[in-house]
Chain A
Amino acid sequence: MRPASEPASQLAHLGWLLTFIAVIVCAAMAVLVLIPGIRGWRATRAGTAPAVHRGDGERWIVVGGIIVPLAILLVVFVVTAETLAKTSHPPTRASFLIEVTGHQWWWEVHYPSPDLQQNVTTANEIHIPVGEPIALRVQSADVAHSFWVPRLQGKIDIIPGQVNTFWIRADSAGVYRGQCAEFCGMQHAHMAMQVVAEPRAQFDSWLAQQRQPAAASGDSLALAGRAAFERQACSLCHTVQGTGAHGKMGPDLTHVASRMMLAAGTIPNTPGHLAGWIMNSQTIKPGNDMPQMYLDGASLHAIMAYLATLH
């Protein structure tokens, strides 16, 4: 646990406090069970065990069984409720809103803008400016998921048919791993994301770049790749803004080359991994929705060259 935000460190403190209380209670109970147990055993062996009478030990039951647990639980309740109230809402107005949609098994990330032309849709990688609270709206495209970036915030469940709101903030720049925290099917374990916290200027240039449609590269190999991408099954499931590919099943690939990882944090975004993923993603992440592709070498080569232009 290395919390990188104020709410995360408040939650970490709460976790340590509860652990500490639990350890103390556990140790006290062990002592209270062992001491009379050993005494009774010795007395029985020596034949000096006193007779038990109705009402014996009632004070232990009232004090040890009711008053003390009530006091401990009251403290735990108040501290927990206070921490949750403090961490569930941003202290100041959120800078902007990000919409996150959980899919089996990847994250769709949407930066809405009043100007529809400026909307940004990406996948599995959330960029935020350092030190600014960001509002989140999370929803599901299929089953229950849970959005969790442990170093930045607690979890927010994603429940089908409902929009949940939350917020995150990173107090220092860095890349923070997020993970689906509600079992959502076969590849639940491979449903991760990266949250990239960067200085405001860097974030602004990232967002400006993401708002551009796909680069129309003059390279003839890349152009052949683009044609193949549109002609093959790729375009049925994937969108590349500014081209004929408008599929909605899989992640938006308009700027896929700018991302660090592929397949929701499963493999690094390198040419070798990408080629393997395109040809037979089922060996890498069995059960995902992408079918095995039957591309010839020339088409694969061209599509790889095209995807590399999508910065």
Chain B
Amino acid sequence: MAATAPYSAPTAETAAKLDEIWRTPHTIYGRLATVDHKIIGIRYLVTAFLFLILGGLEAAAMRAQLAQPDTHLLSPEAYNQIFTMHGTTMIFWYAAPILSGFSNYLWPLLLGSRDMALPRVNALSYWLFLFSGVFLYSSALVGQAPDRGWFAYAPLTELK
């Protein structure tokens, strides 16, 4: 194990420069454009948790339909949409991003780095994650959510 280099405090000039680069301004634009890994990590955790609740509600609907044979709680179309959305949500909008949340928050702290690598790309990733989920669920508003299974096997998923 190599000896750790002794910590030396930055000069006042360097500190001011670092602060200007990394600070999250308290403006709307500042909050939207922040690259602070802790803020982004918490956003991932909260958003993924909301998707977990959505996925859980979908699971509850499926279980209610399956509680007895020949229940007519959900139409075949609705059931297939709900089980597809449940699988997709749990894997891609909960399981993966919840790990991104912990990674964003903890990795720079564990490594002693200032932020994640490529902080702006990292910040963009969160917004892509959020808007992809909003986009996915907006299809449910018009009753046309994906209904071909989260595993998406061709040729079932081909357009007819």
Contacts and interface: CB of A to CB of B under 8 A. Distances in A.
Contacts of B108: none
A187 interface: yes
B12 to A, nearest CB: 37
A185 B77 contact: no
B156 A186 contact: no
Contacts of A160: 155
A186 B76 contact: yes
Contact of B156 (A185, A187, A286, A287): A185
B34 interface: no
B156 A144 contact: yes
A143 B153 contact: yes
Interface string B116-130: 000000000000000
Interface residues of A, number: 13
A308 to B, nearest CB: 27
A135 B76 CA distance: 34
B80 A143 contact: no
Contacts of B76: 186-187, 189, 286-287
B133 interface: no
Interface of A is mostly: loop
A96 interface: no
Interface in A181-219: 182-187, 189
B101 to A, nearest CB: 23
B77 A143 contact: no
B155 A143 contact: yes
Contacts of B153: 143-144, 182-183
A142 interface: yes
A246 to B, nearest CB: 26
Interface in A119-144: 142-144
Interface string A142-171: 111000000000000000100000000000
Contacts of A143: 153, 155-156
Contacts of B80: 185-186
Given A186-B76, A186-B77, A186-B80, A142 B155 contact: yes
A164 B153 CA distance: 18
Nearest to B151: A183
B73 to A, nearest CB: 14
Select the residue from A142, A144, A183, A187 with max chain B CB neighbours within 10 A.
A183
A143 B155 CA distance: 6
Interface string A231-274: 00000000000000000000000000000000000000000000
A289 to B, nearest CB: 12
Interface in B32-64: none
A160 B154 CA distance: 9
Contacts of B149: 183
Contacts of A144: 153, 155-156
Contacts of B147: 186
Nearest to B84: A183
A159 B10 CA distance: 64
Interface in B111-153: 147-149, 151, 153
7 contacts: A143-B156, A182-B153, A183-B149, A183-B151, A183-B153, A186-B80, A286-B76
Given A183-B156, A185-B156, 5 more contacts: A142-B155, A143-B153, A143-B156, A182-B153, A186-B80
